[in-house]
């Protein structure tokens, strides 16, 4: 039943996104003060030198400096600072495929239907437009939401992801101290939590990466490089740095920069679906790679130079000639990322089952984002 609900939702969401085309509907909310010195250390920002750096460069090259502003290389081989504020992160909702871009100055813009209100005026590290509305992580680690009920007293978070968890809206933060939790909104979907259920479910261990996936799955990389997953199937051994995960694929990035993909997970083992990962698994030669992510039909990775490679779950190539990236995130049928010049880019493939998944096509974002 869970997969049937998911398929129906994905068909409806896909039809909505196709009807919107590339123009989409951007939510009106933007927050954050004007750039005044900027916010360095952004997740997706390619960090360059100080503004006005005298470091030599190749004409036409572009990067983001430590203040979050784009620098371009002039014809005489010197860096010139512009007023373009670089993107910090892109958040893709893995249930409905909405997209949000957050910039280095804490402002954001989201693409998709927003059922809720505006977030408080703050400087944000990450904003996601989930089914219940906007959820944001402020620069000082607070989680704020419009439309989703969050408990008071959550510790500071370093990142989060929101999705449907057991038919509740789930917000899954990775806290600054390395702990990980699933936070459930018992008011969502008109189904209150049972009296003996906790709204905050903490997972054992210290994590460097952890997040949730549609239909109640959770996965993480522990501080020692081992993998953790919530769905009860065998966890592959090894030392890893990141995972790419959906209810149809499970791949992991090794500490050496290789990529390993494993047996079908939760959905396949419990429903008998045979096309979860197809007759073959994605294989990634080359590398070393430094980041991976997954949509409903593809696994994508960026290598040490920022080049993007995508493979369908059955191993078929999904070429994207899209430039160099510092950050990528996938969900639903959408892949988004932050380029080395600080611009955001998104792509969409059709279909959910393997015989329907097509090639990625660009999805235009508003100018400046």
More confident residue, 164 or 270: 164
Residue 57 lies in a domain: no
The residues pairing with 293 across neighbouring beta strands, listed in sequence order, are 300
68 in a domain, yes or no? no
What proportion of the chain, given as a percentage, has pLDDT over 70? 80
**31-45, 213-227, 345-359: range with lowest mean pLDDT:** 31-45
The better pLDDT of the pair 270, 310 is held by: 310
Give the structural domain span for 259. Answer: 2-30+86-363
Kindly state whether residue 80 falls inside one of the protein's structural domains.
Answer: no
Quickly list H helices, 186-339.
Answer: 266-271
- pLDDT tens across 169-189, in order? 999 999 999 999 999 999 888
pLDDT of the residue at 264: 52
- The helix or strand, by DSSP H or E, that contains position 20, with its residue range, turns out to be helix 2-20
- 102, pLDDT greater than 90: yes
At 352, the pLDDT band (50, 70, 90 cuts) reads: confident
Q: Return the percentage of the chain with pLDDT > 90, whole number.
A: 62
| Segment among 244-253, 268-277, 316-325, 360-369 with least mean pLDDT | 268-277
Q: Is 45 contained in some domain?
A: no
What pLDDT does 246 receive? 83
Question: According to the model, what pLDDT value does residue 26 have?
Answer: 39
Q: Which residues pair with 299 in a beta bridge?
A: 294, 311
Closest of 323, 315, 317, 316 to residue 346, by C-alpha: 323
Residue range 80-84: average pLDDT? 96
Q: Looking at residues 278-303, what average pLDDT do you find?
A: 89
Highest mean pLDDT among 35-39, 215-219, 267-271, 334-338: 334-338
**Given pLDDT bands bounded at 50, 70 and 90, which one contains residue 50?**
low
Q: pLDDT digits over 304-330, tens only?
A: 999 999 999 888 899 987 899 999 999
Is the confidence at residue 334, as pLDDT, over 70? yes
Phi, psi of 161 (to 5 degrees): -145, 140
With cut-offs at 50, 70 and 90, classify the pLDDT of residue 121.
very high
| Cα–Cα distance, 67 to 48 (Å, whole number) | 9
Query: Where do the H-state alpha helices sit in the chain?
Result: 2-20, 266-271
Mean pLDDT of the chain: 83
CA nearest 322: which of 352, 354, 365?
365
- Residue 24 is encoded by which pair of tokens? 């989409």
Euclidean distance between CA atoms 270 and 281, whole angstroms: 19
Mean pLDDT, range 344-351, rounded to an integer: 93
Give the H/E segment covering residue 89: strand 87-92
The answer to which of 37-46, 66-75, 297-306 has the lowest mean pLDDT is 37-46
Question: Looking at the domain assignment, is residue 49 inside a domain?
Answer: no
What is the structure's pLDDT at 348? 95
What are the residues whose beta carbons fall under 8 Å from the beta carbon of 130, sequence distance 6 or more? 93, 95, 96, 98, 148, 162, 163, 169, 171
Instruction: Please report, for the domain that includes residue 199, its CATH number.
Output: 2.130.10.30
Number of domains in the chain: 1
pLDDT reported for residue 43: 65
The pLDDT value recorded for residue 53 is: 54
Which residue has better confidence, 25 or 191?
191
Q: Which residue has the tokens 């906007």?
A: 134
Instruction: Assess if residue 293 is contained within a domain.
Output: yes
């Amino acid at each position: 039943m869970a997969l049937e609900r998911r398929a129906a939702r994905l068909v409806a969401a896909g039809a909505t996104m196709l009807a919107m085309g590339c123009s989409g509907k951007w939510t009106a909310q933007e927050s954050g003060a004007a750039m005044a010195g900027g916010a360095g250390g952004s997740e997706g920002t390619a960090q360059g030198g100080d503004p006005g750096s005298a470091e030599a460069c190749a004409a036409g090259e572009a990067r983001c400096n430590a203040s979050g502003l784009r620098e371009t290389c002039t014809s005489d081989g010197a860096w010139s600072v512009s007023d373009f504020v670089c993107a910090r992160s892109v958040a893709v909702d893995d249930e409905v495929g909405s997209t949000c871009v957050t910039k280095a100055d804490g402002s954001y813009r989201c693409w998709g239907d927003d059922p809720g209100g505006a977030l408080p005026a703050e400087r944000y590290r990450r904003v996601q437009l989930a089914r219940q509305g906007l959820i944001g992580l402020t620069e000082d680690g607070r989680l704020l939401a419009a439309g989703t009920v969050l408990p008071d007293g959550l510790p500071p978070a370093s990142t989060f992801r929101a999705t449907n968890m057991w038919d509740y809206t789930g917000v899954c933060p990775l806290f600054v101290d390395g702990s990980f939790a699933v936070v459930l909104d018992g008011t969502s979907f008109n189904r209150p939590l049972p009296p003996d259920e906790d709204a905050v479910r903490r997972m054992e261990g210290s994590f460097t990466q952890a997040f949730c996936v549609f239909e109640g799955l959770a996965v993480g990389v522990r501080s020692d490089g081992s993998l953790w997953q919530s769905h009860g199937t065998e966890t592959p051994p090894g030392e890893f740095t990141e995972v790419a995960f959906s209810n149809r694929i499970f791949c992991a990035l090794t500490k050496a920069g290789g990529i390993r993909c494993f047996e079908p997970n939760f959905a396949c083992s419990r429903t008998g679906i045979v096309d979860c990962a197809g007759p073959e698994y994605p294989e990634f030669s080359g590398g070393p790679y430094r980041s991976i992510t997954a949509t409903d039909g593809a696994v994508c990775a960026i290598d040490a130079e920022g080049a993007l490679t995508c493979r369908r779950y059955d191993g078929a190539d999904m070429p994207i000639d899209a430039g160099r990236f510092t950050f990528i995130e996938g969900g639903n049928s959408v892949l988004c990322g932050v380029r080395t010049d600080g611009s955001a880019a998104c792509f969409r493939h059709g279909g959910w089952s393997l015989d329907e998944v097509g090639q990625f096509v660009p999805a235009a974002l508003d100018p400046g984002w």
